[in-house]
Amino acid sequence: MRFDEKTVLISGAASGFGRLAAMRFAGEGAKLSLCDRDGDGLAALTQELGGAEVLTQVVDVSSAVDQEAHVAATLDRFGALDIAVNNAGIFTEMKRLPDTTLDEYEEMMAVNGRGVFLALKYQLPVMAAAGGGSIVNTASVAGITGAGYCAAYAASKHAVVGLTKAAADEYARFGVRVNALCPAFARTAMLYGFTDKMGAQKGEGREDTLDRISGRIPMGRVGEADEVVNVMLMLADPGNSFMTGQAIAVDGGLTAI
Ligand code: NAD
């Protein structure tokens, strides 16, 4: 029970890593403050969480008003914010940089980049005032490598890594640790959205596309959501007390080559 009585805020909790993380944190004793722009998904998750102590709020992470209100609601309900997992994100489609429209670029930066900036802006002072805390920002291997044909996504995830390192430097003295999680190709709705679009263009099925992607990964397969969430919890764990400002790849060896 690493998270017994800890209040954990998770964004993007209605699906994928965020949803699984909510179940896993609850299983280890946490109180949950969950947000997503998908209210139905949050409601379904709350049902599944059964007896766990849960606050849910519909939030667009690109909105300062929404994010400030969510942190305030967390404090109102639980009186504390010990851990935050800033995980909500979008990926649209692979295309060359010149074919990416300005609107597409701005949307990616607004959700993935500004979303994490705003989360940190409202979470850091609360944690510092309470004597410490831990923040995990979900970036991507696209936040540490070039990631051609994903320029807007890569720019937004590099922003997440930069924000993580700056916040870690500023807030280490206040007992707040800030790390970035950098997954690649793990089985969630986001990966399937990406592979299904790619497969449709090539006239192949989902698993065939995943096999093709797997050929580029040293472990020869894509990841399971659980394998990524294991590391998310490890980063958040108060026992992981001397790690801050790191961008940790969970990628089957992709960034090792
Ligand atoms: P997912 O699509 O299953 O979940 C993303 C969640 O974020 C959804 O519930 C969605 O409603 C929510 N969301 C999107 N925009 C939002 C907004 N503006 N405000 C609030 N909520 C919003 O995808 P996932 O794979 O679980 O993605 C989680 C994070 O992991 C994302 O930041 C993503 O970029 C990152 N990531 C995923 C992979 C992968 O292979 N699955 C790889 C690298 C990085």
Centre of ligand 1 to C-alpha 226, Å, is 15
Over 90: is that where the pLDDT of 30 sits?
Answer: yes
CA 138, 141, 145, 147 dihedral sign is negative
SS3 36: strand
CA-CA distance, 42 to 46, in Å (whole number)? 6
Q: Which residues pair with 186 in a beta bridge?
A: 223
Encoding tokens for residue 46?
């709350």
Q: Which residues pair with 135 in a beta bridge?
A: 84, 178
154, 142 Cβ separation under 8 angstroms = yes
Query: Residues with Cβ within 6 A of ligand 1?
Result: 11-12, 14-18, 36-38, 41, 59-62, 87-91, 111, 138, 140, 183-186, 188-191
What would the pLDDT profile of 170-211 be if each residue is shown by its tens digit? 999 999 999 999 999 999 999 999 999 989 988 999 999 999
What would the pLDDT profile of 7-19 be if each residue is shown by its tens digit? 999 999 999 999 9
pLDDT band at 37 (very low <50, low <70, confident <90, very high): very high
Over 90: is that where the pLDDT of 130 sits?
Answer: yes
79, 53 Cβ separation under 8 angstroms = no
- Residue-level pLDDT at 51: 81
What would the pLDDT profile of 45-78 be if each residue is shown by its tens digit? 999 999 889 999 999 999 999 999 999 999 999 9
Encoding tokens for residue 40?
């139905």
With CA atoms as reference, report the closest residue to 10 among 88, 77, 75, 65: 88
User: Measured from the CA of 193, which atom of ligand 1 is nearest?
Assistant: 2
* pTM metric for this prediction: 0.98
- Residue-level pLDDT at 84: 99
What number is the average pLDDT over the span 207-222? 96
Centre of ligand 1 to C-alpha 11, Å, is 9
- Residue-level pLDDT at 34: 98
Tokens 């007896």 found at: 51
What number is the average pLDDT over the span 216-221? 97
CA-CA distance, 220 to 48, in Å (whole number)? 33
Over 90: is that where the pLDDT of 39 sits?
Answer: yes
CA dihedral 158, 11, 83, 192 (to 10 degrees): -70
CA-CA distance, 40 to 122, in Å (whole number)? 25
Residues 6+ apart with CB under 8 A from 72: none
- Residue-level pLDDT at 52: 82
